[in-house]
Structure 1
Amino acid sequence: MFSVLYTDDEKALLDIGKTFLEREGIFTVDTATSAPAALDLLASHTYDAIISDYLMPGMDGIEFLKRVRGSGNTIPFILFTGKGREEVVIQALNEGADFYLQKGGDIQPQFVELSHKVRLAVQQRLAEAALEESEERYRAVVEDQTELICRFTSDGLLTFVNDAYCRFFELDRSRCLNNPHDAQLFPEDARRMKEHLAALTPEQPVALIEHRIRAPDGTIRWQRWSDRAIYGKDGRLIEYQSVGRDISEQKLTEERLLESESRFVAFMDNLPAMAFIKDQECKTLFINRELEEQFGAAEWIGKKPHETFPAPAADRILSDDLRTLKEGRVVTIENLPEKNGRMRTFETHKFRIDRGGNSPLIGGFALDITERRQSETALKESEAGFRNLFNHTGDAIAIHILGGCFTEVNDEFCRRLSYTREELLTMRPQDIEDAESAHLAEARLAALKNDEHTVFEAIMCAKDGTKIPTEINSRLITYHGQQAVISSGRDITERKRADDALRQANRQLTMLTSITRHDINNQIMIILAHLSMARMESPSKAQAELISKVEAAITTIRTQIEFTRVYQNLGSHQPQWLAVSSVLRYIEAPKPVVVKTDLAGVEIYADSMIQKVFFNLLDNAIRHGGKVTEVRIGYHQEGDSLILTWEDNGVGIRAEEKDLVFARGYGKNTGLGLFLVREILSLTGMTIKETGVAGEGARFEIQVPKGTWRIARR
């Protein structure tokens, strides 16, 4: 049964309505002849729906509706009135009425329709309440979970997050909803995640993925997510629901276990001895690679000595095994046949492995004494050969313990520095290095530890104080169980002299070029002055044309001279890391040209003249692009390279001119702008090409090779 409150100032109409509605057997109806009376009933009773007239004295139906909704009551409200004006209907619905029904006409159909509207409104509200209750129960369950739970749309906008999710990512729920949450995934994991979500289908909507993530505190964590794609009845993707948990400890345990097993197997397989493990019944459980290769022992697993060796040898082996279980450790010398039949002598060490409450095991390793003796002889010969090579090479070679003294020096090292071997073995590398280069020692050591190899130049000091420029090639090694550095040094005194001479020649050439350019510019000024005076003499038309041609030629000469000034500076400074956005900061485009950039964090290793690249590209766009109003500068990655893009909305470049525009002298003006662009870029291995479509604008792509670009984190 549904309880209904019916309000109308017409008592007769109330009685008729009550009769009609209660006749169906599903409604009980209370009546009120005014809105205030109805509000009193509503305060003391619970109803499933309200029916109200519009025109009533004191308080009309709309005001009654406002009072009900203003109190927070969402009860279904049907306005049942004789007024059919459109503005009343609109106002009623805007104020929260569920239905609007006009009086008039036949009574029975009218109240049948009213009954239908009431039933429909009540059922709809009950359904909404049930849904809200269901969602609240679901939300309560979800919020109590320790798993991270979220929902998000295909474009990454969060539509729901639980408390655990907010706590882990340190998010404010009110701020993150309807916004993307770009969790800090590693590039490879981000690619896998994208492929993982793309693979979900209506037929297979659920899948698991594990990946790493950088947590807000900077630590790297492992997470496992169960992702479900939620589709509508039409098969259209609505959103994703993800349930995740932190599995860092589990991963760490797995990694430690795998690492432990891997270390054990790697250790055993790399032992210069044959190793094995047996159970208390003397059955073989494990053999290492050396034992398998020497005896073909893979078939020994699960077998006792008498199943793998002839009787006399098997008896000795079994006796030693049992003695090991009793005494704890046994060392024997055994003669055993290899798989090829040859007898070999082995020194075998066996020991009991106690395992608490479990049965003990037998561990052991066998040393092939024959091979060891041969190895010792070969090692002595090898050491003699190494010593001979060490002492007779043309380079100075030394070995020193990391952070300590020299442990080995060759004859050339002693000769070059005029120290005895004994003296050098008490010294450290910094003791023989000039202070001018010794301050770089920490940076070199860091590079060596990072790459295990480094080449650098230093100034070595001989015993008599002579300074020797030296190119040193150092490599990190293990020497007698310690971390050490082996270095070879080459005297580069002559090369340094040649470099100094070349630098001096370049300085003189630069000075000569500068003086010559200055003198030429002075003469050009004189010529231009004379030409200006000639124009003042009112020359004939033919003479004026000749003067103009001379002036044009002089302008070209000036441009060429200026080009030599710019060109001579190419490569004169050490390249450096430059933020592209900072370089572009000083480029101002003339109106109405607008420059748009998307280069946040992009840095390139380039010559300091890189700014001229962008100046010339802008100048080229303005001069030759027609009515250019917009320039766009961005980037993307292709393989290991970074591609910087420069685009304008001008006329573009014809296909047959795409390569010619970079040639020196090509073009309508000096033909030096794009030529200079290419030359500056080439200093650090960068290249440029034009890839635009004629008629749609020019597009230049600058390829920055691997190692000369990076994206700085902000």
Structure 2
Amino acid sequence: MIYLISVLYVDDEEDLCITFSLFLTRKGFSVSTCCSAQEALDYLSRNSCDVIVSDYVMPGMDGIDLLTEVREKFGDIPFILFTGKGDEDVVIRAIAAKADYYVRKGNDPEVVFSDLAFTIEKVVERHKTKKELIQSEEKYRFLVTHALEPILIVDLQGTLLFANNAAARMMETEDGTYKPGTNVMEFIAPKSREDVTHDFIEVSQGNDSYTAEYDAITGSGRPVTVESIGKLIQYDGKQAILLSLRDITDRKQIEKSLRQASRQINLMNSITRHDILNKVTIILGALEIAEMECHDPNISHFLKTLKAATTDIQKQIEFTRLYQDLGIQKPLWQNLSSVIRRLQIPEGITLDVNLENISIFADPMLEKVFHNLLDNSIRHGGMVTWIQVSGQKNPDGLIISWQDDGIGVPDDEKGKIFTRGHGKHTGLGLFLVREILALTGISIHETGLPGNGARFDICIPNGIYTDADQAGVTA
């Protein structure tokens, strides 16, 4: 079904109404005519139309008076003033009364009506687009206003332009709304203001969409921790910043409580471990003396068995000292090249580090990962003379490879070497490596070919690493 634009033409000259109607009907419009302004108002009270075209000079009520009545009673129906008068005063009055367009009558009816038909199409199309835009803006404003997540729009200086209900609730404003001209800095704690200022500058320069945390103070004076993501947008024709907020105060408090509980548990473990190791030292000393004094081969055998078991207990307790520190401190960004350069490389082994300037988000014990990988190469690789560390990106993130020229790992051992207690030594080194990396979602696999050296691939997901210019070092 083809939709025809409905036109109401108003003119006190009946012949002009007939001519206008015939011409525009042939152009594909649906036309109704009225011979006075009052008749047009009566028509509009019973019918609707897409556009009104009205003469200016009419008895009783002229075209601009009609426009004024239409705007008061029927809203923003597109209105075109069609007249032979060209006075500047008429144009000024038409603009003031919010006419959509002004078309002059001329001597050539065909040219004038063709121009008018074109103008009608453009005015109706523009009105339709504007109406759809308003409806769209109203819909999204409603959705944003009533969204569960706090949302703000501020100018580049932090002055508030819009705040939804959730943001007002989170910041506990007096009447549940924000006063015009409020600046977000009024809610930022002094120690976070420098960070907020820095991030505003970053976002205004297009470096946006990253997560930041700030300490804030609500309208009631309650301290809160806020997580924020800023995005540079256009708002009312000007650059602005869209802020998506989240109150993470409870989460931060829980994290703090867990860290405190872990510290207390670790303190208890340290005291207990110290006492146990003292007892183990006494047992080992006593066994040493007993071996020296014992001349019975059968008894000596049992003494050596006891000594070996006690020594294993001692090693296990030492490992718990390392393992208990996992997750106690917050993960942090660490430069891989710097971490690897701190390793003590034995004489006779060359370490090549071929990495971009990469930093990864990992537990502070990250250095022990590479210390244990080095120890593994030395202990189990045979005559290792060369180790290379390199990086390669893929769609899922980054792979850091630790590769040596030793004897490699047999296929049937690859799935076992990261399990606790497996191996020729303590069986805890690679287990610890896996546990440290897993704290921030990083995984590790052995992918080397037996006989061609060991290769450990550390898989770092997107978002857990950053890189800069290519760099290479040889240690």
TM over 0.5: yes
CA distance in 2, matches of 1:419, 1:586: 58
Residues 391, 651 of structure 1: alpha-carbon distance in 2 compared, 3 angstrom cutoff? closer
Q: For 1:579 and 1:702, how far apart are their aligned partners in 2?
A: 12
Contact 2:326 2:365 in 1 (8 A): yes
Alpha-carbon offset, residue 435 of structure 1: 0.9
Q: Which amino acid aligns with 2:424?
A: K
- Mark the CA change 1:455 to 1:611 in structure 2 (over 3 Å): closer, same or farther: closer
Q: Structure 2 residue aligned with 1:406, among 154, 160, 174?
A: 160
The higher-RCO structure (CA 8 Å, 6+ apart) is 2
- Cα displacement string for residues 139-165 of structure 1 (whole angstroms, at most 9, x for unaligned residues): xxxxxxxxxxxxxxxxxxxxxxxxxxx
1:511 to 251, 261, 267: 267
Distance 1:602 1:691 in 2: 24
- Does 2:306 match 1:550? yes
- Equivalent position amino acid for 1:576 in 2: W
The offset of 1:440, in angstroms, is: 0.9
1:498 and 2:231 matched: no
TM-score (norm 1): 0.45
Q: Which residue of 2 aligns with 1:370?
A: 124
Distance 1:713 1:650, change over 3 A: closer
Change (3 A) 1:685 1:394: closer
Match in the other structure for 2:293: 537
How far, CA to CA, are the matches of 1:438 and 1:468 in structure 2? 14
1:597 to 337, 340, 352: 352
Q: Percent identity?
A: 34
Which position in structure 1 is the counterpart of 2:172?
417
Q: Residue 331 of structure 2 corresponds to which residue in structure 1?
A: 574
Checking the alignment, whether the CA contact within 8 Å between 2:408 and 2:450 is kept in structure 1 is yes
Asked if 2 retains the 8 angstrom alpha-carbon contact of 1:581 and 1:600, the reply is no
**5+ residue gaps in structure 1?**
1-293, 296-309, 317-332, 336-343, 351-361
Task: Return closer, same or farther for 1:391/1:345 CA change in 2, 3 Å cut-off.
Answer: closer
CA distance in 2, matches of 1:441, 1:692: 48
* Cα distance between partner residues in 2 of 1:709 and 1:492: 25
Match of 1:133? none
Counterpart of 2:439 in structure 1: which amino acid?
Answer: L
Deviation of 1:369 (Å): 3.3
**Mind listing any 5+ residue stretches in structure 2 that lack a counterpart?**
6-20, 28-51, 55-77, 81-99, 104-114
What secondary structure does 1:689 align onto?
Answer: strand
Partner residue of 1:524 out of 280, 289, 296: 280
Using the TM superposition, give the Cα deviation of residue 525 of structure 1 relative to its aligned residue in structure 2, in angstroms. 1.2
Distance 1:414 1:622 in 2: 61
- Counterparts of residues 262-411 of structure 1 (less than 5 Å): 312=23, 368-373=122-127, 389=143, 392-411=146-165
How far is 1:659 from its partner?
Answer: 1.7
Measured in 2, the distance between the counterparts of 1:515 and 1:694 equals: 44
Report the CA distance between 1:481 and its aligned residue: 0.7
Q: Tell me the amino acid that sits aligned with residue 513 of structure 1.
A: N
Aligned residue among 187, 190, 194 for 1:439? 194
Cα offset, 1:413, TM superposition: 4.3
Query: Does the Cα contact within 8 Å between 2:154 and 2:160 map onto a contact in 1?
Result: yes
- Residue 537 of structure 1 deviates from its aligned partner by 1.6
Task: Provide the alpha-carbon RMSD of the alignment.
Answer: 4.0
SS in 1 for 2:433: helix
2: CA distance between counterparts of 1:334 and 1:678?
78
What residue in structure 2 maps to residue 141 of structure 1? Answer: none
**1:658 counterpart = 2:414:** yes
SS of structure 2 residue aligned to 1:528 = helix
Q: 1:472 offset after TM fit, Å? A: 3.6
Q: 1:677 & 1:365 partners in 2: Cα distance?
A: 75
Q: Which has the larger radius of gyration?
A: 1
Residues 595 and 480 from structure 1, CA distance in 2 versus in 1: closer, same or farther, beyond 3 angstroms? same
Contact 2:79–2:101 under 8 Å retained in 1: no
Distance between the aligned counterparts of 2:134 and 2:444, measured in 1? 59
1:688 aligns with 2:444: yes
User: What is the distance in 1 between the residues matched to 2:352 and 2:260?
Assistant: 42
Q: CA deviation at 1:313?
A: 6.5
Q: Deviations over 1:381-400 (max 9, x none)?
A: 66665665555455544322
Equivalent residues in 2 for 1:470-481 (5 A)? 470-481=226-237
Return the letter of the residue paired with 2:154. Answer: H
Map of 2:8 onto structure 1? none
**What is the distance in 1 between the residues matched to 2:252 and 2:402?**
42
Q: How far apart, in 2, do the equivalents of 1:403 and 1:604 lie? A: 32
Q: 1:682 to 1:484 in 2, by over 3 A?
A: same
* 3-state SS of paired residue (1:425): coil
Distance 1:603 1:573 in 2: 19
1:685, 1:704 within 8 Å by CA — same for their partners in 2? yes
Note if 1:465 corresponds to 2:239: no
- Mapped contact 2:378–2:384 kept (Cα < 8 A): no
State the alpha-carbon separation in 2 of the partners of residues 650 and 493 from structure 1.
Answer: 51
The letter for the 1-side match of 2:297 is K
Distance 2:162 2:312 in 1: 66
What is the CA-CA distance between 1:657 and the residue it aligns to? 1.1
Of Structure 1 and Structure 2, which has the larger fraction of its residues in strand? 1
Asked if the contact 2:156/2:200 (under 8 Å) is kept, the reply is no
Checking the alignment, whether the CA contact within 8 Å between 1:599 and 1:635 is kept in structure 2 is: yes
C-alpha separation in 2, matches of 1:662 and 1:656: 13
Are residues 705 and 561 of structure 1, via their aligned partners in 2, closer, same or farther at CA, if it must alter by over 3 Å? same
1:643 deviates by: 4.0
1:668 corresponds to which letter in structure 2? Answer: K
The residue type paired with residue 153 of structure 2 is I
Q: 1:704 to 1:378 in 2, by over 3 A?
A: closer
The answer as to 2:320 corresponding to 1:586 is no
CA drift at 1:514 = 1.8
CA 1:510–1:534: 2 relative to 1, 3 Å:
same
Pairwise mapping of residues 602-621 of structure 1 onto structure 2 (< 5 A)?
602-605=357-360, 606-621=362-377
Aligned to 1:637: 392
Q: 1:646 aligns with which of 392, 396, 402?
A: 402
- Deviation of 1:633 after TM superposition, in Å, equals 1.0
For residues 602 and 423 of structure 1, the distance between their equivalents in structure 2, rounded to whole angstroms, comes to 45
What TM-score do you get using the length of structure 2 for normalisation?
0.65
Correspondence list, 1:119-130, <5 A? none
- Following superposition, the deviation at residue 468 of structure 1 comes to 3.0
Question: Secondary structure in 2 aligned to 1:468?
Answer: strand
For 1:611, give the aligned amino acid: E
Q: Residues 348 and 612 (structure 1 numbering): CA distance in 2 closer, same or farther, change over 3 Å?
A: same
Q: Deviations over 1:57-80 (max 9, x none)?
A: xxxxxxxxxxxxxxxxxxxxxxxx
Deviation string, structure 1 residues 537-583 (Cα, Å, up to 9, x no partner): 23422222222222221222222222222222223242323142652
Q: Deviations over 1:68-116 (max 9, x none)?
A: xxxxxxxxxxxxxxxxxxxxxxxxxxxxxxxxxxxxxxxxxxxxxxxxx
How far apart are the structure 1 equivalents of 2:387 and 2:244?
52
